[in-house]
């Protein structure tokens, strides 16, 4: 990454599983919803959630259960999103995040957060956990504006930069796919869901301290 890092000016971080240690709880909540509303066995529910994680939950449900009635899917999404708000009250930042962000700012990088959660929830979490002062852009989900192309295009226009200036750091296969589809350099964070080999030819890190070494 050393040659590429010389051109980078903006580092864009996924939220859940990348800067916030929330994925085990979110997965548990999702499995419970899948079992309750769609009668999906636990093993199948876990696999389905992991393969589609990184997308807004309403899209995950639509992909996994396309034949289920709209009313049931809406109720399942509502319950999951309520549980997700509660999880944000307890899920901690990974311990290295604030120090890494401070170091990146000293190195004159711009920092963005890109999430599939509602922006109001992300902003509230970042403010409560003292992240907001270290971040230049906080981007969340709304229909027609989501993680991936929409967020990348916003950042490109806002910062007046080309795609070669951005690196996206995420913990899911969908994070990787969306970055590569848009020609954005990607670094995968290994976690409880995906291992190094899952990220194929991408650079991987075990924690954000390792990102500083890559840069």
pLDDT of 86: 86
pLDDT of 88: 83
* 189 contacts 173 by C-beta, under 8 angstroms: no
In 39-172, where does DSSP find H-type helix? 42-52, 57-64, 70-88, 97-106, 119-128, 149-159
Q: Report the half-sphere exposure of 77 (CA within 13 A, side-chain side).
A: 19
pLDDT of 154: 98
Q: Which helix (H) or strand (E) holds 27?
A: helix 23-38
Q: Where are the domains of the chain?
A: 2-21+92-214, 23-88
Which residues of the chain register pLDDT less than 50?
none
How would you classify residue 133: left for phi > 0, otherwise alpha for psi between -120 and 50, otherwise beta?
Answer: alpha
- Predicted TM-score (pTM) above 0.85: yes
pLDDT of 87: 84
CATH topology for 2-21+92-214 is Rossmann fold (3.40.50)
């Amino acid at each position: 990454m050393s040659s590429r890092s010389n051109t980078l000016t903006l580092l864009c971080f996924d939220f859940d599983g990348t800067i916030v240690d929330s994925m085990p709880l979110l997965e548990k909540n999702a499995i419970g919803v899948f079992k309750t509303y769609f009668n999906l066995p636990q093993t199948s529910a876990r696999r389905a959630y992991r393969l589609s994680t990184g997308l807004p939950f309403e899209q995950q449900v639509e992909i996994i259960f396309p034949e289920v009635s709209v009313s049931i899917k809406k109720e399942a999404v509502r319950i999951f999103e309520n549980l997700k708000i509660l999880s944000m009250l307890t899920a901690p930042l990974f311990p290295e995040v604030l120090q890494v962000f401070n170091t990146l700012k000293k190195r004159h990088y711009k920092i963005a957060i890109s999430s599939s959660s509602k922006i109001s929830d992300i902003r509230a979490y970042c403010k409560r956990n003292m992240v907001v002062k270290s971040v230049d852009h906080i981007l969340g989900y709304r229909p027609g504006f989501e993680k991936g192309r929409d967020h990348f295009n916003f950042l490109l226009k806002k910062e007046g930069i080309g795609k070669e200036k951005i690196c996206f750091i995420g913990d899911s296969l969908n994070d990787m796919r969306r970055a590569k589809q848009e020609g954005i350099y990607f670094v995968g964070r290994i976690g409880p869901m995906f291992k190094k080999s899952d990220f194929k030819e991408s650079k991987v890190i075990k924690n954000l301290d390792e990102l500083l070494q890559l840069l």
